[in-house]
Amino acid sequence: MSEEMPLHVRVRLPLDRFSLDVDFRTTHRVTGVFGVSGSGKTTLLEAVAGLRRGARGEIRLGETAWLDTEKRLWIPPERRHIGYVPQDSLLFPHLDVLGNLHAGRARALRGGNHVEQTLENVVRVLDLAPLLRRPVTMLSGGERQRVALGRALCSGPRLLLLDEPLASLDAGLRRKVLPFLHRVQAEFSLPILLVSHNPVEVQALCEDLIVLREGRIVARGEPRDVLTRPDVFPLAEHEGFENMLPARVIESSAETSRVRLGHGPDGPALTVPRSALPPGSPLLLSVPADEIVLALEHPAGLSARNAVPARVEKVQRVGPVCLVTTRVATDAPPVVAEVTADASTELHLVPGTVLYLLIKTTAVTLYEDASAGTQRG
């Protein structure tokens, strides 16, 4: 989200068990809203979209106000120029894929958008060309999500709202669709508000993360920092906390690939499941925090292919476990390992401790360009 187009949401809305009561301003391109089911995440999106007439307060994108109850202003949903992708994609079953993409054409024209150019870009970014004449009743779950996302983009939105875009998909389909969301983030210049209860999604896609609990903001900041806070981590752990790490392909063999962590030349090399991408290609990979073993000395005689040198930056106690935040390179994000509190004590883990992260190849998941496929070892 650019500095010229900040999103300001100050909303209060009574619900059954609590009231949604939030006040935030963001200039980030992708802002995530995280929390357990029933915390008010979807209600927040519906209020921004104009689907909750009972909402009171102010909602503004840049200089455009969509809600201002003090001025008795309420702009209806169809005039807010918002692309909304709900949890169930709600495609028009009587239309094929191209017909669904054209569903918002009139609204896009009213907004002054170049509809044919937008359609061309959407089809390219979401790889929809092979599907255009297919009935939506014959689409897989991942294909339906891509079409729903494409339909929202083709309507010429000024803001994109995504409500649990991967929640209805199994793990394999999530790994295939997430790179498409990453493409949208990179190639379309519009702000995104994304609701999710999945730590992988919010780390891969969001620059800013808001945590809701019973309708109120209880934490906010960079996704990794927020998710590893002692008061938030139990929520993330319940869904499976994983480190999301950028990398580049070095080389590949018949069974595995070597990648370099981080964005520069100094990151450590890692052996991972085989990638179909050529050397030099960027990708994302994830490693569950509870799959990382810590060693104070370089190990020998182990099946784990990766022993990555690291330095401890932070140790946090969260109930019976400790989160150990480590740094593996200056140009790579921190890597968090989850160990028992007893293990942390016995290893005398404190900031500055030098150790090795032992990571099995099979513990790594690759998220790469969808045209090349994804896999898990």
DSSP-derived secondary structure for 125-177: HTT-GGGTTSBGGG--HHHHHHHHHHHHHHT--SEEEEESTTTTS-HHHHHHH
Tell which of 242, 261, 295 closes a domain.
242
d(CA 218, CA 232): 9
Same domain, 329 and 195: no
Q: Considering 242, 275, 296, which residue would you say is the last residue of a domain?
A: 242
Task: Quote the number of domains for the chain.
Answer: 2
> Do 38 and 79 belong together in one domain?
yes
pLDDT digits (tens, 9 = 90+) for 340-369: 999 999 999 999 999 999 999 999 999 875
Q: Is residue 135 assigned to a domain?
A: yes
Could you tell me if 155 and 255 lie in one domain?
no
**Maximum CA extent, the chain:** 71
For 148-167, give one letter per residue: b (16+ CB within 10 A) or e: bbbbbbbbbbbbbbbbbbbb
pLDDT at 180 over 90: no
Whether residue 229 is contained in a domain is answered as yes
260 and 178 housed in the same domain: no
- State the CB neighbour count (10 A cutoff) for residue 242: 24
Task: Decide: helix, strand or coil at residue 230.
Answer: coil
Last residue of some domain: 224, 242, 260? 242
Report the percent of the chain where pLDDT is more than 90: 67
252 plus 187 within the same structural domain: no
Do 128 and 17 fall within a single domain? Answer: yes
Confirm whether 339 is domain-assigned: yes
Distance CA 228, CA 129 (A): 40
The residue type found at 80 is: R
Stretch 270-297: mean pLDDT: 94
Find the mean pLDDT for residues 221-231: 94
**Per-residue pLDDT at 373:** 37
Are residues 89 and 236 located together in one domain of the fold?
yes
Same domain, yes or no, for 253 and 237? no
* CATH number of domain containing 326: 2.40.50.100
Phi, psi dihedral angles at 38 (to 5 degrees): 85, 10
What is the crossing angle of helices 115-125 and 141-154, to 10°? 150
Which pTM was predicted?
A: 0.87
Query: Looking at the structure, do residues 127 and 218 belong to the same domain, yes or no?
Result: yes
Domain span at 259: 243-372
64 with 208, same domain: the answer is yes
- Quote the mean pLDDT of the chain: 90
pLDDT at 371: 42
Look at residue 127 and tell me if it is in a domain. yes
- Give the pLDDT of residue 172: 78
Q: pLDDT tens digits for 143-174?
A: 998 999 999 999 889 999 999 988 878 777 78
pLDDT reading at 4 higher than 80: no
Q: Verify that 228 and 256 share a domain, yes or no.
A: no
